[in-house]
Chains A and B, each alone.
Chain A
Amino acid sequence: MQRDAFANANKTDYTLSEFIKGTWSQERPKLPAPDQILSELYKTVIDTAPTSKRSLVFHGYVTLSATLFGFLIGSALGMILAILVVHVKSLDKSLMPWVVASQTIPIIALAPMIIVIMNQFDITGLIPKSIIAAYLSFFPVTVGMVKGLRSPDPLQLDLMRTYSASRVQTFFKLRIPASVPFLFASLKVGVAASLVGTVVAELTKSEDGGFGARLLAGSYYGQTIQIWSALFAAAACAWALVTLVGILDRVVTKAMGAR
């Protein structure tokens, strides 16, 4: 590629060092150099006004709002499913296989269908993307919460029985607090998964912007620098979200007597 670039510029007498230097600063590299990604990030995050469609802050806002909304729906759904699965024996047998099966379908195949179908019902904007984010994030929450709700040992359960505690009392005073550490571990997985879900949804529904739209546009126009900087920005957001859940985890478990 670099050879082609020199050929186009009618430059034939280049040295090896000029050649290497050229590969690090191509206008449209296949694999951009780190400094190219950094300067693109700087340009699109700090130099561009956040309201502009060229700003990564704008796209980040679009992605994060859908991610967080989807994460909320997904975690709530995950928790409700877990509570049902733990308390209704038949649901454990009948629902859990479907929950597992739901995650075996590639989301990249499912996302366009969900968006198209929802479009038929005039549901557009944030909701369809959040639904896909929720679809990815509910699973770890369900699995973790089921494990957590079942974590009290027989001794702790026997204790409740000696008090003739009702199921509701056992649930709120024993099962729920016992599940909290498990819940936070799966929320961390879930929040990262919802970001992935949102980005995948944005590949289909790119007109609103977002990191996914940015990736798609970049690949259309061979803008690898744009793709990579969007990827790094998405990774940074995922890191921030996981850290945030981690801090919340520490605050809550500290109040619950963790060392």
Chain B
Amino acid sequence: MASSRVIDIADLSLTFETNDGPVHALSNVSLGVEKGDFISLIGPSGCGKTTLLRVIADLEHPTDGSISIHGMTPEEARLKRAYGYVFQAPALYPWRTIGKNIALPLEILGYSKEERAERVRKGLDLVNLTGFENKFPWQLSGGMQQRASIARALSFDPELLLMDEPFGALDEIVRDKLNEQLLRLWEKTQKTVVFVTHSIPEAVFLSTKIVVMSPRPGKIHGQSRAARIARGAFLCRLRVAHADVTLVRQDSACLRRLGDPRCVLVFGFDLSEWRYATRCLREC
């Protein structure tokens, strides 16, 4: 069972030693990620969701517990280039064109020039940026830059995609659009995705499984199988209007057929959005 898992985390803890004493960023986190999962780590800021992602990426080292990625340690996985990482900011190198930015990991991994060109072309196509190859990052909008960074993370075809609030800095309209594109991309490529967000609608919309984390020390508060909401086939959207939150679960095929959103479930809402969502996710 454990070997078929892409990521296996057991009793993981991480404590940062600071001048003001130890900070328990993660405490006894256990999590399994299956192949093809789209997992969202969600929680308020400071709950350790980014830290957990960084541990998976071998950018931080756990102080206790075990973690394996494809049966390897995170370091071995990193050295084997097992994952692509999308940061909160696009982190494109400003002196490289979009095409060259996407080619950056390929250059480092030593791909031939022809293969680089081919993969850059495919990557641009995948994120709908064809024709922007020779533009510099500043000539693109924030959303386009982030799409380029996704293409860069996927350029060397890693099995696992780690995304750290990739759309956090974008406005809601762009974000919705990118979420839909990401979902389509995930369906097309069948990658395993671990996605950090603080947006409940985003998590509900994208994920097959949602992991809710609580802060100080960061631990897993609850997990929901969005598979029960129906994976892929259903689009879920959480809309905030006045004091009510409407959770709309929508069959994507239906949506296309009907052309207008159909309300499936309506919850009353009077507490803070966060507490409400935690409850509602547990009920899922």
> Are both chains from one complex?
yes
Report A's interface with B, CB cutoff 8 A: 155-156, 158-165, 169, 173-174, 177-178, 180, 256-257, 259
**Stretch of B36-44, B61-69, B94-102, B240-248 at the chain-chain interface:** B94-102
> Which residues from A are CB-within-8-Å of B78?
161-162, 164
16 inter-chain pairs at a CB distance below 8 angstroms, sorted by A residue, are A155-B87, A155-B89, A158-B87, A159-B91, A160-B108, A163-B81, A163-B104, A163-B105, A163-B108, A164-B78, A164-B79, A165-B108, A169-B108, A256-B95, A257-B94, A257-B137
Report B's interface with A, CB cutoff 8 A: 57-59, 78-79, 81, 83-85, 87, 89, 91, 93-97, 104-105, 107-109, 136-138
Residue ID in chain A nearest B109 by CB atoms = A163
Could you tell me the distance between the alpha carbons of A163 and B78 in the complex, rounded to whole angstroms? 7
Count of A-B contacts judged by CB separation below 8 Å = 52
Could you tell me the distance between the alpha carbons of A25 and B109 in the complex, rounded to whole angstroms? 74
Check B95–A180 contact: CB distance below 8 A.
yes
Other contacts beyond A173-B104, A177-B93: 8, CB < 8 A = A156-B91, A159-B91, A162-B59, A163-B109, A169-B108, A256-B95, A257-B96, A257-B137
> Which residues from B are CB-within-8-Å of A256?
94-95
Q: What is the interface of chain A mostly: helix, strand, loop, or mixed?
A: helix
> Which residues from A are CB-within-8-Å of B138?
257, 259
Could you tell me the distance between the alpha carbons of A159 and B85 in the complex, rounded to whole angstroms? 8
Residue ID in chain A nearest B152 by CB atoms = A159
Could you tell me the distance between the alpha carbons of A23 and B138 in the complex, rounded to whole angstroms? 60
Residue ID in chain B nearest A158 by CB atoms = B59
Check B93–A162 contact: CB distance below 8 A.
no
> Which residues from B are CB-within-8-Å of A173?
93, 104, 107-108
Cβ distance B192 to chain A, nearest Cβ, rounded Å: 16
> Which residues from A are CB-within-8-Å of B97?
257
Cβ distance B4 to chain A, nearest Cβ, rounded Å: 25
Cβ distance A212 to chain B, nearest Cβ, rounded Å: 40
> Which residues from A are CB-within-8-Å of B83?
162
Could you tell me the distance between the alpha carbons of A158 and B78 in the complex, rounded to whole angstroms? 12
> Which residues from B are CB-within-8-Å of A177?
93, 95-96
Could you tell me the distance between the alpha carbons of A156 and B94 in the complex, rounded to whole angstroms? 11
> Which residues from B are CB-within-8-Å of A156?
91, 93
Instruction: Pick the most buried of A162, A173, A178, A180: most chain B CB atoms within 10 A of its CB.
Output: A162
| The 9 residue pairs across chains A and B that have the minimum distance between CB atoms | A257-B136, A256-B95, A162-B85, A155-B91, A177-B95, A163-B108, A165-B108, A163-B105, A164-B79
Could you tell me the distance between the alpha carbons of A161 and B74 in the complex, rounded to whole angstroms? 12
Check B81–A164 contact: CB distance below 8 A.
yes
Cβ distance B67 to chain A, nearest Cβ, rounded Å: 16
Instruction: Pick the most buried of A161, A164, A165, A177: most chain B CB atoms within 10 A of its CB.
Output: A164
> Which residues from B are CB-within-8-Å of A164?
78-79, 81, 108
